[in-house]
Amino acid sequence: MTIQPGDKLPEATLMHLGDAGPAPISTGELFGGKTVALFAVPGAFTPTCSNQHLPGFIEKSEELRAAGVDTIVCLSVNDAFVMSAWGQQQGVAGKVMMVADGNAELTQKMGLSMDGSGHGMGTRSLRYSMIVRDGVMETLNIEQNPGKAVDSGAENLLSQLG
């Protein structure tokens, strides 16, 4: 079942690459006590993700923060090294936190996974964005336009902050 507005995000352990290497980060630690703009992509370095989705959140990062967002998180079913390399290539420093859900633990618990095996990708995340306040999902935007980042894009999420 897909997570619904008002639901608490499930407990899961994600990974983030810091100065000391890959480090686990719990959903409680990542989302507790703050407002988070979370967006997920099917894969790092893929065309729509690299050309539309992530760049939109980089461009709108200051506006999102001005609207009350404490942290902007990009999540993908990739490993922490891939997420870090993609973030460096895209220039996310100080704007977007790159987080790996390498085992699709959180993605599957939220009911937001997809089967990408037909494209050699295995289990991946749907393209979506959400606002999470103190660990509770407030708004969910699952992308309805294949190959686009409109519903799940930064502009749409920004319009939902109030």
* Catalytic residue IDs: 49
> CA-based Rg of the chain, rounded to a whole angstrom?
14
Identify the three-state secondary structure at position 132: strand
Q: Measure the CA–CA gap between 38 and 73, rounded to whole angstroms.
A: 5
First and final C-alpha spacing in the chain: 28
Distances, alpha carbon 33 to alpha carbons 50, 150, 151, in Å: 30, 28, 26
